[in-house]
Amino acid sequence: MKVTILQFPGTNCEYDTQHAFESLGATTEILWHKSESVPADTDLLVVAGGFSYGDYLRSGAIAKFSPVMQAVKKYANEGGKVLGICNGFQVLTESGLLPGALKRNEHLHFISKHHTLKVVNNENDFLKELSCGDVVNIPIAHHDGNYYIDEQGLQDLYANNQVLLQYSDAKGEISNPNGSVDSIAGICNKEKNVFGLMPHPERAMEKLLGSDDGVKMLQGFFKA
């Protein structure tokens, strides 16, 4: 499996992401934001976390104009699988590849800690190694992780099984750290080939570092 990982000025999770996928047996390539095409052998394109362009204007608002994003849109529109993690999720919403937007956290503070998530829907390549209702312990680290979508958009997400993950406590009950609508932590597009989440599964690959729950999350892509 070949995983291509985008890198913008300010990206800081590309090497964690590379390590995570290589530990699962993938080959990887880091793709600079000025590239105008996605490598033809790419099986999964990851928009990694960090602070693209310093989060100036709004998180992901400048990155969407990078040359590589036209290639990303083409790749996604042709059915290629795309995963946006944290800032990558923000970039995908700003680019229109995923619905909704990410706002400043409700309490206006940067949050950095492990947080449990409940699997809402596993009928997709990303989470198919998990079961609905499973609770996973995954780090979060964001200032603008407050997911917003209007009421009609929210209804559409649920109608199309696009809500993938919710912030929860260890028992699966709602526990919302940032004010996200309906405690949403991750979604996908209607076609289920573009995925976005604020938590960092690439940082949950080893029990020694607090959790290895990210392994099953990422393994789904290997069995697509």
Amino acid letter, residue 12: N
* C-beta of residue 126 within 8 angstroms of C-beta of residue 168: no
Class of domain 2-223: alpha beta
Please pick, among 33, 86, 94, 115, the residue that the annotation labels catalytic. 86
Q: Is 206 labeled as catalytic in the residue annotation?
A: no
- Tracing tokens 């590239």 back to the chain, one arrives at 35
Q: Is 109 labeled as catalytic in the residue annotation?
A: no
Other CB atoms within 10 Å distance of the CB of residue 85: 28
Q: Is 123 labeled as catalytic in the residue annotation?
A: no
* C-beta of residue 106 within 8 angstroms of C-beta of residue 91: no
Please pick, among 33, 115, 142, 200, the residue that the annotation labels catalytic. 200
> How many helices (H) and strands (E) are present in the chain, helices listed first?
5, 11
Question: Digits of tens for pLDDT over the chain (224 positions)?
Answer: 999 999 999 999 999 999 999 999 999 999 999 999 999 999 999 999 999 988 888 889 999 999 999 999 999 999 999 999 999 999 999 999 999 999 999 999 999 999 999 999 999 999 999 999 999 999 999 999 999 999 999 999 999 999 999 999 999 999 999 999 999 999 999 999 999 999 999 999 999 999 999 999 999 999 76
Output the pTM of the full model: 0.96
